[in-house]
Amino acid sequence: MKDAAADVLRLRDIAFADAAALLAGHGLRLETVADDAPIPGSYWGEPEAGIIAGTVYVRGDTPVHSMLHEACHLIVLPPKRRAAVHTDATDSVAEEDATCYLQIVLAGRLPGVGSPRLMADMDTWGYTYRLGSTRAWFEQDADEARAWLAERGLLPA
């Protein structure tokens, strides 16, 4: 993770109701905690999003890419596995790749965000791909992630 103060879009920069509705459409709950409070289930620590079962925890300073990434970790899991999640969702490369792909797709459905901005924020934060950027990976090297999601009916129409 790069400097947490890097210029990435934060939850406070978008409409919370839009983010909550997007996650609710996938059976998830988005819950805020006070700006100075610890974030339950945060793998990376504050201000990064946290996950516990079907809930994604955020603060106003949580990066949007972090909220989407953690939410997508839950979306790609079958319900029984999702219910058992606390902080760390997977150790599967296929699930991690699918999560990254899906967060980019869902960003395109989130007003005020969009896929191009999310990919730029992912690069700023420090996601790394063998082609050098999130966009290059998404456009040229993510066939397996896309197929994994399609096989499970997880790509939006």
Q: Please report whether residue 95 resides in a domain.
A: yes
Interhelix angle 93-107/143-151, nearest 10 degrees:
90
Q: Please report whether residue 126 resides in a domain.
A: yes
Q: Please report whether residue 5 resides in a domain.
A: no
Q: Which residues, including other chains, have CB under 8 Å from residue 141's CB and lie 6 or more apart?
A: 129, 130, 131
Q: What is the pLDDT of residue 75?
A: 96
Q: Please report whether residue 157 resides in a domain.
A: no
Q: Is the pLDDT of residue 6 over 80?
A: no
pTM for the predicted model, two decimal places:
0.93
Q: Is the pLDDT of residue 38 over 70?
A: yes
Q: Please report whether residue 147 resides in a domain.
A: yes
Q: Please report whether residue 4 resides in a domain.
A: no
Q: Please report whether residue 2 resides in a domain.
A: no
Q: Is the pLDDT of residue 5 over 80?
A: no
Residue 54 belongs to what domain range? 11-151
Q: Span 115-130, mean pLDDT? A: 93
Q: Span 57-67, mean pLDDT? A: 97
